[in-house]
Chains A and B, each alone.
Chain A
Amino acid sequence: MNIIVLMKQTFDTEEKITIQNGQIVKDHAAFIINPYDEYAIEEAIRLKEKHGGEVTVMTIGSSEAESSLRTALAMGADKAVLIEEDENQLLDEYSIAKILATAIKEREYDIILCGNMSVDNGASQVGPRVAEELDIAHISTVVKLEIDGELVKAERDVEGDMEMVESSLPILVTAQQGLNEPRYPSLPGIMKAKKKPIERLDIEDLGLNEQELEAKSIAFEHYLPPKKEAGRILTGELSDQVKELVHLLRNEAKVVSH
């Protein structure tokens, strides 16, 4: 089974965000694999362990993204593809999906896995868009996946309810939390990963012209939410505090009425 995983390097979820000149400051930030993509990588490795085959992880990013690809290789992926972005070219979800789909088309695949969203941009677009570019089916926010021959059985998290879906290969699946528990890379795995191949591509290598890639949307301003003022810690007897809280919620905050 040929498995492709689309992944993205994101800010460590513990990072504070700072903005300078309307842009997010990325210096000094610690980076991680987007947590939802980690589920996708783990699932890919499990599928390989069960059905055989090969796992290729693919990302679009700067050269720093290599460290995240290495982590995926250390977890057990076989190959990695780094599509290096040109900082001057504006890319949105449309263009990203176009680039990934073009890179995927040149390869053999049975299943494509990716996170259902990234924790930085949070748009939840790239997975379904790539499936559309490739004209294959997709199943999103999957928490359980089984493959039997060509048959694909998945459980989707649909706003808390569980949807049982069937389809067939080839397919694109987006991972939701709960799909699995991603493994930590083993120490020998980390050493072996250093020798695994990372293929580097420029967007130009894919034969796409600029027009085909043109972003359809642009972010022109970034800002931080207003700082919350310090709240009030109630004091006194516990039962009085509770009475006061109910009073405050009703009369001051006005979020509960009678």
Chain B
Amino acid sequence: MTRILVLAEIKNGKLRNVSFEVLTVARRIAGDGEIVACLFGSDAEKYSNELARYGAQKVYVVENEALNRYTPDGYKQALLQVIDKIQPQILLTGHTSIGRDLFPRVATRLKAGLVSDCTSIDLDHDIIFTRPIYSGKAFQKKRIIDGLFMATIRPNNIEAVENPVVSETIKLQAEIKELRTVVKEIVKKTSGKVDLSEAKIIVSGGRGVQGPEGFQLLQELADVLGGAVGASRAACDAGYCDYSMQIGQTGKVVTPDLYIACGISGAIQHLAGMSNSKVIVAINKDPEANIFHVADYGIVGDLFEVVPLLTEEFKKLLSKNNTVMN
């Protein structure tokens, strides 16, 4: 019987949506197999019911203070002990900061193959992993040759589908020894804002935004839409905003439902980071701007005029009920 282990994540006191997405994928490939989730941290247990709602039949919680903050050594030790206990054939997590830091180490430890940043996993005799390469300019299909199957799954790409099951929560006392890296402090730069990589709507600015004040306009639009603000490299290089907001080949690759590009010319490196968005809107003064080639809807005009109008229009639309479709 196939047994799939999903490493779930808590962020800012909540289970991350990507964990539900991963559970959804696990269900798709599990057949009549078993889906087990695991979760680390001293109050992990209280989240286990929610994991059951997305199909986790068992939830292993390792409640250890040493796991309240992620470290590769701590999580690796905990995960290896869970793996040892349940002997999964497939091991999945989100392609998040933790997933991409932890899974390669664990994979090498277990002499396992790992397919990173999958946008889909399908069962077709074998398990087929699909992932973007060249920052989304192409895709590849991979399979694992032998041993444990490991994969990280790109957030915000597969819709999480509820699948409530009766679940059992199992507490595991894992021994966490010497941690070679210590997290001294976490400085929240994104607090109160929607995380770019998980945002359903992104309002993004380029050099045309002309400065930090211009980005304030974009933030207002994003706030109305419940979205996040991103930027092109040109805008980051110009010092209009922080590099943590950069979308593109060197930067974040995002796939929101709606991407509104304001004053972005559409350099190929930027397109690589956003061209797989579901719907793209371009606002640019230059009718020849490359961004219009990938846009579904375009407005040729000054973003300083268009964006405030758009904010007002959306305010009117959303005033009754501020929700955004998934």
Contact = CB atoms under 8 A, between A and B. Distances in A.
Do chains A and B make direct contact within the complex (CB under 8 angstroms)? yes
B100 A140 contact: yes
Nearest to B142: A219
Nearest to A223: B139
Interface stretch (B51-59, B156-164, B182-190): B182-190
A216 B146 contact: yes
Contacts of B116: 93, 122-125
A255 B278 contact: yes
Contacts of A124: 100, 104, 116-117
B115 interface: yes
A242 to B, nearest CB: 4
Interface stretch (A47-55, A59-67, A77-85, A228-236): A228-236
Interface string A222-255: 1111001011111000110111011011100111
Contacts of A224: 137-139
A255 B201 contact: yes
Interface residues of A, number: 84
Given A122-B116, A159-B190, A165-B184, A219 B104 contact: no
Given A160-B196, A238-B305, A239-B309, A232 B296 contact: yes
Interface in A178-234: 178, 214-225, 228, 230-234
A105 interface: no
Which of B180, B293, B298, B309: most chain A Cβ within 10 A?
Answer: B180
Query: Could you say which interface size class chain B belongs to?
Result: 35 or more
B244 interface: yes
A8 to B, nearest CB: 13
27 contacts: A11-B134, A17-B134, A24-B134, A94-B114, A119-B134, A119-B250, A136-B180, A137-B73, A140-B100, A157-B244, A164-B184, A215-B113, A216-B147, A217-B142, A220-B143, A224-B138, A225-B136, A225-B137, A225-B275, A228-B294, A231-B295, A232-B298, A233-B299, A233-B300, A254-B325, A255-B257, A258-B321
Interface of A: 11, 13-14, 16-17, 19, 24, 35-36, 92-94, 97-98, 117, 119-129, 131-133, 136-141, 143, 157-168, 177-178, 214-225, 228, 230-234, 238-239, 241-243, 245-246, 248-250, 253-258
